[in-house]
Amino acid sequence: MKSRRRTSSSPLLGTLALIAALFVVAPLISVVIRVPWADFWSTLTSKAVRQSLAVSLQTSLVAAVLAAVLGIPLSWWLARTSNTFARVIRTVCIAPMVLPPVVAGIALLAAFGRRGVVGEQLFNWWGISLPFTKTAVVLAQVFVAMPFLILAVEAAFRQVNEGLEDAARTLGASPLRIFFTVVVPSVRPALIAGLVLAWARSFGEFGASITFAGSFPGRTQTLPMSVYEIATYDYRQALVVSVFMMFVSVGVLAAMRDRWATGATR
């Protein structure tokens, strides 16, 4: 029989909780109330919004895949390594979560700009210039999104039953086969959650992208950049695009909540 948790009946705690909830909910509800619903479809199907949505979808999907390809092995290594060097690497790799977005963009320019540490060599040797291209958008999205995947997946890797790995090893399985046939299936819910969170963060990325890639319609202008630009001349249209992005974000969170709840009951 499941026991119910007793909730505090303190009026002060209840009041503070209500104020906190209203503080978060009020702006979101206000956007929905102010949206000119009669112009909703025509705004979303306008050329500028369609172009920026296409760029956002293309770049965020590629960024999510790259974040997984790079972040999953790194998460595995961090979960299985407990020394000072690993702790330093973990801190550095998670740092983009708390960096000011403009600082993240400047850091990418310092590394991959035409005069950057890496970018200068790319340009001098192969004539490759990354800033203000769609590739720059992807790099910015991976930079800010991968920490979310690392946090979700590393925590799951730490919970994997090492006895299953030992059993597979005694049966002659290689480390790579153990990883893909034993470890990965054990953490599949966390992998999916991390991947979706990385995609959602990439889809909503603005500050680092506009600093490193600029905002060129049809090329590097993503949906958040489009909202920012539209708001300078048509607040009502900006509300439409904003509420669309808000629905996408809420939908992602709702899907993740159901998955987490399912995982918690197993």
Structure tokens given for 262: 């399912």
Mean pLDDT taken over the chain: 90
Task: Report the predicted TM-score, pTM, of the whole model to 2 decimal places.
Answer: 0.88
Instruction: Give tens-digit pLDDT for 73-111.
Output: 999 999 999 899 999 999 999 999 999 999 999 999 999
Confidence (pLDDT) at 174: 87
Confidence (pLDDT) at 170: 87
Amino acid at 231: A
Confidence (pLDDT) at 261: 52
Confidence (pLDDT) at 206: 96
Confidence (pLDDT) at 55: 97
Amino acid at 12: L
The DSSP secondary-structure symbol of 95 reads G
CATH superfamily, region 40-264: MetI-like (1.10.3720.10)
E strand or H helix at 83, and its extent? none
Instruction: Give tens-digit pLDDT for 125-134.
Output: 999 999 999 9
Instruction: Give tens-digit pLDDT for 180-218.
Output: 888 999 999 899 989 999 999 999 999 999 999 999 999
Amino acid at 193: A
Instruction: Give tens-digit pLDDT for 54-65.
Output: 999 999 999 999
The DSSP secondary-structure symbol of 97 reads G
User: Cα 103 from chain centroid?
Assistant: 17
Structure tokens given for 14: 């209840």
pLDDT at 153 over 70: yes
Nearest to 196 by CA among 259, 139, 135, 138: 259
Q: Residue 263: which pLDDT band, with cuts at 50, 70 and 90?
A: low
116: left (phi over 0), alpha (psi -120 to 50) or beta: beta
As a residue count, the chain comes to 266
pLDDT at 9 over 70: no
Q: Residue 6: which pLDDT band, with cuts at 50, 70 and 90?
A: low
- How many CA atoms are closer than 13 Å to the CA of 18, on its beta-carbon side? 6
Within 10-116, residue ranges assigned H as helices are 11-34, 40-44, 47-80, 84-94, 101-112
Domain residue spans in the chain? 40-264
